[in-house]
Chain A
Amino acid sequence: MKPFEYVRADDATQAVAMVAERPNARFLGGGTNLVDHMKLGLVEPELLVDVTALPFNRVEPLPDGGVRIGAAVRNSDLAANPLVRQNYPVLAAALLSGASGQLRNLATTGGNLVQRTRCPYFQTLYTPCNKREPGSGCSAITGHNREHAILGASQACVATHPSDMAVALTALGATVRVLGPAGERVVPIGELNRLPGDEPHQDTTLNHGELITAVDLPALPLAKRSAYYKVRDRASYAFAQVSAAIAVDIHSGVVRDVRVALGGVAHKPWRAHRAEALLRGAPATEDVFRAAADAELAEAKPLSDNGFKVPMVRNTLVSVLRRLAREH
């Protein structure tokens, strides 16, 4: 690891200015991804600005019925929050399915969102990777690609975004509040992370020096009936092969409204707009659920080792929708 300066920020505007003016400065949250990547030699910051002491550590109800989550709120606190458990169970469930108890006690809401989209080839310094070294090639496309993307990937990169929390936030249609050198702006969650295209080294649409200060959840009554289902290689403490965050409102056997997002399938949390469009207004039957899944998967492009993800997504969507429909 290269030596670096460390500053514990007590003012958000100053923190942003400090990082913005130095190309090789980084914000430090819980450190569970950044410090690991510094140890691996993937990133070599010359300055870390610690933002965990900034006053962004509260979960507060908003006047419109939504909830504001401070960017420094730890994953464990967010999962245990009564408002979240009651009104957005999909978010609590997603958080609890991620990482381990020790990591959730460190990891922050903002840090979780800007963790690197990654794959094993990215994490080793001796194999080509366009994300780590633009133009060097993708080792996964012709290599081991069992856990990789089936939707929205490119010839340059087939890595997946590992966050569970972000999949739930994507289904909920959260908005991300960002502070930059030019002031505040609001980014819809679906526009925060990028598909790889020919610039897979850019995970997000944030500019250097922009800091996530909060995540706002909209008032969303249907989120009370929501669930997160994660399929993985072992029962706990593993990334998703496939996951689904679903909220649905069914009345008299008809889907009135629905939100669906998928994890483990793309370079970013994948909002399943096509499935949602097919479900909205349709009878809540297993045939419709399957047709919705197939609509979303129409453009899936599995790699040599991950063809199983296509039926796995279909089965996951159908079974979670069936379960939520039964609870109505």
Chain B
Amino acid sequence: MTRTNPVLADIAIHVDGDKRQLSVDTRTTLLDALRDQLGVTSPKKGCDHGQCGACTVLLDGRRVVSCLALAVANDGAEIVTAQGLADGDDLHPVQQAFLDRDGLQCGYCTPGQVCSAVGMLREVQEGWPSHVTGDLAAPVELTDEEIRERMSGNLCRCGAYANIVAAIREAAE
């Protein structure tokens, strides 16, 4: 028999430093919980199928697409969105570099790009190789080719890629 009534669950998540308690329909994605229930609108809904990266947030320190994560499955999680990256009025170095290098046009993909870049730079620091890393056992050098490969999960339909790569290179230095 098919269930017809929504199933609700109480969860608590930390969002950009604040503990938020909410009741979610089990069907709610983390993205919809953030945007529609908590008013945290920096993660954007692009494709809603994990293909465009506009909804990227840092989940317990790692970049993920929030459109394929269920809110109910992330009770207790620590989430940082693009709007929680800055320290007061001081932008995160990646945010500042996107401004300095003009790494955007319409800006819709930008919060996802920025979160993805922050997560990606941590992965490089951890020594994680990528598809274009020649020697899987050697230390990683963050070339432009590496940046492009590692950021391939974030689409920019304006095509600001050249400046996005420049911004990330600058932030990494």
Q: Write the residues of chain A forming the contact surface with B, with a CB cutoff of 8 angstroms.
A: 1-6, 8, 28, 30-32, 35-36, 38-40, 44, 46, 48, 50, 52, 76, 79-80, 85-86, 89, 92-93, 96-97, 99-103, 105-106, 235-237
Expressed in whole angstroms, the Cα–Cα distance for A48 and B26 within the complex equals 10
How far in angstroms is the closest Cβ of chain B from A234? 9
How far in angstroms is the closest Cβ of chain B from A33? 9
* B83 beta carbon closer than 8 Å to chain A: no
Known contacts A39-B49, A106-B69; A92/B131 CB under 8 A: no
Question: Of the candidates B27, B64, B148, which one forms a contact with A105 in the assembled complex, judged by CB atoms under 8 Å apart?
Answer: B64
Q: A80-B129, A96-B130 are in contact. List 16 more A-B contacts (CB 8 A).
A: A3-B27, A5-B3, A5-B26, A6-B26, A6-B73, A8-B73, A28-B73, A36-B68, A46-B2, A76-B123, A80-B126, A93-B136, A100-B154, A105-B59, A106-B68, A236-B148
Expressed in whole angstroms, the Cα–Cα distance for A39 and B70 within the complex equals 11
Expressed in whole angstroms, the Cα–Cα distance for A32 and B131 within the complex equals 20
Q: Which of A79, A92, A93, A105 has the most CB of B within 10 A?
A: A105
Q: Is the CB of A236 within 8 A of B131?
A: yes
Residues in B neighbouring A105, C-beta threshold 8 A: 59, 62-64, 119
Q: Which of B25, B129, B130, B154 has the most CB of A within 10 A?
A: B129
Residues in A neighbouring B2, C-beta threshold 8 A: 2, 44, 46
Q: Is the CB of B26 within 8 A of A50?
A: no
Residues in B neighbouring A5, C-beta threshold 8 A: 3, 7, 26
Q: Write the residues of chain B forming the contact surface with A, with a CB cutoff of 8 angstroms.
A: 2-7, 9, 25-27, 29, 48-50, 53, 56, 59, 62-65, 68-70, 72-73, 75, 116, 119-120, 123, 126-131, 133, 136-137, 148-154
Q: Is the CB of B26 within 8 A of A102?
A: no
Q: Is the CB of A4 within 8 A of B7?
A: yes
Expressed in whole angstroms, the Cα–Cα distance for A3 and B9 within the complex equals 12
Q: Is the CB of B7 within 8 A of A32?
A: no
How far in angstroms is the closest Cβ of chain B from A89? 5
Report the tally of A-B residue pairs with Cβ distances under 8 A.
122
Q: Is the CB of B136 within 8 A of A100?
A: no
Known contacts A102-B64, A237-B153; A85/B129 CB under 8 A: yes
CB closest residue in chain B, given A5: B7
Expressed in whole angstroms, the Cα–Cα distance for A292 and B22 within the complex equals 60
Q: Is the CB of B3 within 8 A of A4?
A: yes
How far in angstroms is the closest Cβ of chain A from B71? 10
Residues in A neighbouring B127, C-beta threshold 8 A: 80
Q: Is the CB of B72 within 8 A of A6?
A: yes
Q: Is the CB of A102 within 8 A of B153?
A: yes
Q: Is the CB of B3 within 8 A of A101?
A: no
Known contacts A85-B129, A102-B153, A105-B63; A2/B3 CB under 8 A: yes
Query: Does more than half of chain B's interface fall in helix, strand or loop, or is it mixed?
Result: loop
CB closest residue in chain B, given A89: B136
Known contacts A39-B48, A39-B49; A79/B70 CB under 8 A: no
Known contacts A46-B2, A80-B128; A3/B7 CB under 8 A: yes
Question: Of the candidates B4, B9, B153, which one forms a contact with A100 in the assembled complex, judged by CB atoms under 8 Å apart?
Answer: B153
Known contacts A2-B2, A52-B73, A106-B69; A99/B153 CB under 8 A: yes
Q: Which of B48, B65, B130 has the most CB of A within 10 A?
A: B65
Residues in B neighbouring A93, C-beta threshold 8 A: 131, 136
Residues in A neighbouring B136, C-beta threshold 8 A: 85, 89, 92-93
Residues in B neighbouring A85, C-beta threshold 8 A: 129, 136-137
Expressed in whole angstroms, the Cα–Cα distance for A52 and B131 within the complex equals 26
Residues in B neighbouring A89, C-beta threshold 8 A: 136
Q: Is the CB of B65 within 8 A of A106?
A: yes
Task: Provide 21 A-B residue pairs closer than 8 Å at the C-beta atoms, listed in order of the A residue.
Answer: A2-B3, A3-B7, A3-B25, A4-B26, A6-B73, A8-B75, A28-B70, A31-B73, A35-B68, A36-B49, A36-B68, A80-B126, A85-B129, A86-B137, A92-B129, A93-B136, A101-B151, A102-B63, A102-B153, A106-B65, A106-B68
How far in angstroms is the closest Cβ of chain B from A2? 6
How far in angstroms is the closest Cβ of chain B from A26? 12
CB closest residue in chain B, given A4: B26
How far in angstroms is the closest Cβ of chain A from B38? 19
How far in angstroms is the closest Cβ of chain A from B122? 11
Expressed in whole angstroms, the Cα–Cα distance for A96 and B6 within the complex equals 38
Known contacts A4-B26, A79-B129; A101/B63 CB under 8 A: yes
